[in-house]
């Protein structure tokens, strides 16, 4: 009998790091938003009612950057209100700190469907990426798939590698049902950190749903070596976000996005692909890659991203808090290069049916940039506002549960050839 992994393991990249079961409670403190949805119009007052005892300090910022309000409240006098009104679309970020206690964050959105990217799209953005794709495809990929030991006897599992740009490789793992016929495909793109080992269950679980599943390293390192291999990698590689920040031709994320495109090329050339269904699945940096690859590769049919990174990389000069990979905001050359890897700039080219989630109190991948990317996607799509959620690895299971459940609904529907639920133009 095959023992399937738990839900958290089954959805792999979407719930990694969800270790806490609940927020640390703030004794005798209650914070209730005026609207449970956390979403307001510009004509409405954004506000919270604060109850409890003792004194609290608070700050309110627009897009977690521009100060709007700050002060202290004495809850001994009864319930207090914190209110602000915005005249433009934006996110509101509030921090409340009880005297002698820990701070808690709360978020709201003001007409988020109208939020635009912080920085302009480079004029030669499309020409640059068309050239980079041509250069990549001029290099024979020569994919090699190597069968491995599967944790499920009904699933074929193995690893693969391909040639890539600048003498590097694409390394990954794959899984598929041991049945004949053509299959829908899914490519799992990895969150940040490491480099680290890829878990075979991440693809095996998707293969159990009926997918031809591939999962690649975002880095030029093998996919499934012992943990000691990754711990001994050089520090420069572990600090990969700093590699070629000021050089768009050799930028680390340019190579990473191309690695995803090369893999989609390989998947869609396989005789066991169904010829129509190509899903991208990613969280955080995996979502960043998904937005880029979906914008660059027309054969991507569906995209599911949770708290994607890389949206508004050059944000601070434009009055917003910046996102991972946290390029230096005072370095004009680095921010110029950031324009070519900013995930929002790929969104207008995405043809895929898209599911996009953002955390309203996410300081790693702030929600304003994710809303901007979502708003630019021209096709059918669905947004999942996680009103109480910080970044996924800092969130509770409850805070991330909406996107976890919807991801599974979407993956099951897509595998059956059905339209995912809740789509809007």
The per-residue pLDDT string of the chain (425 residues; one tens digit each, 9 = 90 and over) reads 333 433 333 333 333 333 333 343 445 799 999 999 999 999 999 999 999 999 999 999 999 999 999 999 999 989 999 999 999 999 999 999 999 999 999 999 999 999 999 999 999 999 999 999 999 999 999 999 999 999 999 999 999 999 999 999 999 999 999 988 999 999 999 999 999 999 999 999 999 999 999 999 999 999 999 999 999 999 999 999 999 999 999 999 999 999 999 999 999 999 999 999 999 999 999 999 999 999 999 999 999 999 999 999 999 999 999 999 999 999 999 999 999 999 999 999 999 999 999 999 999 999 999 999 999 999 999 999 999 999 999 999 999 999 999 999 999 999 999 999 999 88
Element (H, E) at 300: none
Give CA angle at 95 (94, 101), nearest 5°. Answer: 160
Cis upstream peptide for 325 (omega within 30°):
yes
**CATH ID of 29-114, from 3.20.130.10, 3.30.565.10, 2.40.50.140, 2.60.40.2550:** 2.60.40.2550
DSSP state of 301: -
Q: What pTM did the predictor assign?
A: 0.93
Report how far residue 418's alpha carbon sits from residue 267's, in angstroms, rounded to the nearest whole number. 21
CB 323 within 8 A of CB 369: yes
DSSP state of 182: -
Q: 143: which residues sit within 8 A by CB, 6+ positions away?
A: 160, 161, 162, 266
Looking at 17-166, list the stretches that DSSP marks H as alpha helix, in order from N- to C-terminal side.
125-137
- The highest-level CATH class for domain 7-14+116-415 is alpha beta
Q: What are phi and psi of 97, to 5 degrees?
A: -125, 110
Give CA angle at 177 (157, 274), nearest 5°. Answer: 110
User: Which pair of tokens denotes residue 60?
Assistant: 């309110």
Q: 127: which residues sit within 8 A by CB, 6+ positions away?
A: none
What are the residue boundaries of the structural domains of the chain, listed by start? 7-14+116-415, 29-114
Q: 222: which residues sit within 8 A by CB, 6+ positions away?
A: 159, 161, 171, 229
């Amino acid at each position: 009998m095959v023992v399937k992994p738990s839900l958290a393991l089954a959805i792999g990249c979407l719930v990694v790091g969800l270790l806490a079961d609940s927020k640390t409670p703030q004794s005798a403190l209650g914070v209730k938003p005026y609207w449970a949805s956390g979403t307001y119009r510009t004509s409405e007052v954004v506000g919270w009612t604060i109850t409890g005892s003792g004194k609290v300090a608070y700050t309110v910022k627009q897009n977690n950057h521009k100060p709007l309000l700050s002060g202290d409240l004495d809850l001994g006098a009864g319930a207090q209100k914190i209110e602000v009104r915005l005249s433009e679309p934006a996110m509101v970020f509030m921090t409340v700190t009880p005297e002698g206690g820990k701070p808690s964050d709360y978020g709201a959105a003001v007409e988020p469907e109208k939020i635009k990217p912080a920085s302009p799209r480079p004029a030669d953005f499309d020409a640059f990426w068309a050239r980079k794709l041509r250069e990549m495809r001029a290099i024979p990929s020569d994919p090699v798939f190597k069968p491995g030991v599967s944790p499920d006897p009904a699933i074929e599992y193995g690893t693969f590698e391909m040639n890539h740009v600048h003498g590097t490789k694409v390394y990954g793992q794959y899984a598929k049902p041991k049945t004949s016929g053509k299959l829908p495909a899914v490519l799992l793109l990895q969150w940040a950190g490491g480099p680290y080992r890829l878990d075979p269950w991440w693809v095996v679980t998707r293969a159990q749903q009926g997918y031809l599943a591939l999962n690649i390293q975002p880095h030029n390192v093998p996919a499934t070596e012992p943990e000691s291999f990754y711990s001994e990698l050089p520090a420069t590689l572990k600090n990969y976000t700093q590699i070629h920040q000021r050089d768009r031709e050799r930028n680390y994320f340019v190579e990473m996005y191309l690695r995803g495109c090369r893999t989609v090329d390989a998947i869609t050339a396989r005789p066991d692909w169904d010829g129509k269904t190509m899903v991208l699945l990613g969280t955080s940096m995996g979502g960043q890659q998904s937005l880029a690859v979906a914008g660059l590769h027309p054969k991507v049919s569906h995209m599911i991203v949770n708290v994607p990174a890389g949206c508004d990389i050059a944000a601070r000069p434009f009055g917003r808090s910046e996102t991972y990979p946290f390029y230096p905001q005072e370095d004009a050359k680095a921010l110029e290069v950031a324009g070519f890897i900013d995930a929002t700039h790929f969104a207008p080219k995405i043809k895929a049916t898209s599911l996009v989630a953002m955390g309203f109190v996410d300081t790693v991948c702030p929600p304003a940039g994710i809303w901007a990317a979502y708003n630019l996607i021209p096709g059918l799509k669905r947004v999942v506002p996680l009103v109480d959620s910080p970044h996924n690895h800092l969130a509770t299971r409850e805070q991330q549960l909406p996107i976890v459940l919807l991801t599974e609904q979407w993956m099951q529907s897509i595998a059956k050839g059905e339209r995912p639920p809740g789509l809007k133009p």
